[in-house]
Every structure is written in structure tokens, then in C-alpha cells.
Amino acid sequence: MAENVEVTPLRLVFLGSDPIALPLLDWLAGEGSAFAQVVGIFTQPDRPAGRGQKIEANAIKRWALARGLAVLQPEKLGETDRAGLAALQADVALVMAYGHLLRDDFIATPRLGTLNLHASLLPKYRGASPIQTAIASGEPETGVTLMRIVRKLDAGPVADAERVDIGPRDTAAEVEAKLAAACVPLLARTLPRLAQGELAFAEQDHAAATYCRRLKKDDGALDFAAPATVLAARINGLFPWPGCTVEISGEAVKPGLADFEAAAVASAPGTVLGTDSESLRVATSDGVLRLLRLQRPGGKMLPAPEFLRGFPVAPGTSLPSRPMPLLAGPAPFR
């Protein structure tokens, strides 16, 4: 794009239902308004939330209502909703963690089409749990990818991506916050190019694609016959949801943070080796798993030393293993 060319802000309709998009929306309402004006929001219908299961608006709807924006909440997208999108005279629709499949006619309605922000470095981790699966798979980095939406799962051509690192003690909560922030520089450099017709899209390498799936409670199983590196990544990647659990003295204890020590271990996998200043140490097939934060059912997540003062775990205790379900694969999960 040529320098010093004034760009009329794009009319942008946002489709999303998850708080991960709030930093981006705040930027669009402020500095980013030079590039795009949010003219409407599509989000999921109000759902029961919290312990009381009271019907509540999600964070995206609350953000939109606070700014007087049109909010549409279809249970399933139909022709009326496509007409509603058309009435907003959108130049572009932007999707992030919306939760609905989009029809072809809906995708094609905005003048410049419909784009998606996906929380992985495509073609890796297409699907429903890219943040958790990237961490649980031991990736050193992930990112946010901007692509065109097509009917095939996360397979559209890609314009650009913003990378973020995954630290050795990053949980899904920390990485999600990094990815939320990464959307801002990504859109800051791509929206002006889109407005000028200079944003190029390239096909993904579909042969290199990997897929992840919607997570469930059973995914929190831990098999101590796996290496300590694998177990630590799994614990961190699945926190806070669905969370890993291990049975200790008959209780389902939830580890909320872990790392590992590359040390030779003579004890059987799952044997508690003792403690250090930060952690409960557990033998694995390769190395020592260090459990840094632990939580009893109904209790608070605590640093391991504080947890162990109220719930001692003797060296030599054997922690049972359970098979760990596959989180990623070379084909979509059915």
C-alpha cells in the first residue's frame, strides 16, 4: 500500500462469542477505528452461566450493547440473518470463536467477503481446541492466522499470521491472553491492505494439516508411563478446562501447573519421589514430573508446598495411570 494514502474505514461486522476477541474489539473501537468501523455484532444467544445457571449475555454482547451496536443472536443462521447482515452494508465480516457454521450465501454477502481469525498457525491444529492442543502437544509457539472462510474446516486461503511463544510454564489461560493481544498487530497491518485491494491470500499446504477436536472431561487423564515432558505439556495445555486429574488417597486431585526435570529415575512410573521447594515430584517413564499447583475437589488451586501442608503425600505413594485420549491427528475427528 502506498504511504500517506487516506483509507476510508471499512464497515465491519464481527461474529464471535468468546472473550478472546475483546482486546481486538477494544482496539477497533479506539485506534483501529481508522481502519474499520464495527457496525454490528453476531453472537450466540444468551445461555445459562455460573453456578446458579442464570441466563446471561456473553462478554461480546455486553461489549456491543455498551457501545449501542446492533446485536443479532440467531440460534441457527438462516436467510433472515443473511438479510440482516446485508442491511448493515458490511464491507467485510470478521469471525473469531463464533460457534456457528456459516452458509455460503452468508459468507459471500459482505463486499470483501468473510474472514476468520483462527488461534493456531495453520495448517496446524484446524478444529475446536487449537490453543489447548498446541500446548498439550509440546509446541514451542503458536499464533493467530487470518484466512478466508470456506466450507471445509479451517481450510481457507491464508493472508497473514502473528506468532506467539509458548513458555515452559504457560497454561492455556496464559497463551489465550497472548493470542488475544496478537490479533491487534495482525489486523493493524492487514485491514489497510484489505481496504486497498492489496491483501493477498495463499492456499494452505493441505497435506501438512493436523486437526484437533472439542475437549471433554475424560481428556484430563494422565498416564505416568508417558515421558515427563509430555505429561507437563498436557497438564498445562488442559488448564483451566477440562483440567487434568490424578487420584491421590482416593481423591481426584487436579494439577494446575507442571514442569519437568530431565533426570534418571529408578522408581516405577507414577511413584511419588518426594518434594522440593516448589513441587511434588513424580516418576515417569522418562524424567521427573514436577507438579507445581494442586487442587482438591471443592478447594482452591494452591502452590504445591501450601497444598501439601494440608494434604500430605508420602514418598513411595503410587499414583494410578489412565490412558490419555488422542487430542490431535492427521484427519478431522468424527
Where do the CATH 3.40.50.170 domains begin and end in the chain? Answer: 10-211
Q: Is 310 helix (H, G, I), strand (E, B) or coil?
A: helix
Distance, C-alpha 72 to centroid of its chain? 24
CB 125 within 8 A of CB 143: no
Query: Whose grid coordinates read 506468532?
Result: 163
Torsion angles phi and psi, residue 181, rounded to 5: -70, -30
Cell of 289: 514430573
Q: Which CATH superfamily is domain 10-211 in?
A: Formyl transferase, N-terminal domain (3.40.50.170)
Distance in angstroms (rounded) separating the CA atoms of residues 201 and 204: 9
Distance in angstroms (rounded) separating the CA atoms of residues 21 and 11: 18
Torsion angles phi and psi, residue 179, rounded to 5: -70, -35
Query: Whose grid coordinates read 483462527?
Result: 118
Distance in angstroms (rounded) separating the CA atoms of residues 13 and 125: 26
CA distances from 98 to 248, 269, 328 (A): 38, 41, 21
Q: pTM of the predicted model, to two decimals?
A: 0.95
CA distances from 11 to 48, 57, 100, 111, 225 (A): 32, 24, 22, 10, 54
Distance in angstroms (rounded) separating the CA atoms of residues 17 and 21: 8
Alpha helices for 56-213 (secondary structure H): 59-66, 79-87, 104-107, 130-136, 172-195
CB 232 within 8 A of CB 260: yes
Position 4 scores a pLDDT of: 52
**Predicted confidence band at 51 (pLDDT cuts at 50, 70, 90)?**
confident
**Predicted confidence band at 2 (pLDDT cuts at 50, 70, 90)?**
very low
- Residue by residue, DSSP assigns 267-300 as SPTTBEEEE-SS-EEEE-SSSEEEEEEEE-TTS-
Where do the CATH 3.10.25.10 domains begin and end in the chain? Answer: 217-310
Q: Which of 57, 53, 60 is nearest to 17 (CA)?
A: 60
pLDDT tens, position by position, 282-325:
999 999 999 999 999 999 999 999 999 999 999 999 999 999 99
- What's the average model confidence in pLDDT over 8-19? 97
CB 52 within 8 A of CB 84: no
Position 5 scores a pLDDT of: 56
pLDDT at 193 over 70: yes
* Domain 217-310, CATH: 3.10.25.10
- What's the average model confidence in pLDDT over 99-111? 94
Distance in angstroms (rounded) separating the CA atoms of residues 332 and 213: 8
pLDDT at 201 over 80: yes
- What's the average model confidence in pLDDT over 159-176? 98
| Positive or negative torsion for Cα 191, 194, 200, 206 | positive
Q: What percent of the chain has pLDDT over 90?
A: 94
Position 1 scores a pLDDT of: 45
- What's the average model confidence in pLDDT over 232-242? 98
Torsion angles phi and psi, residue 157, rounded to 5: -65, 145
Position 52 scores a pLDDT of: 80
CA distances from 103 to 78, 79, 106, 138, 288 (A): 8, 9, 5, 35, 49
Position 6 scores a pLDDT of: 65
pLDDT at 50 over 80: no
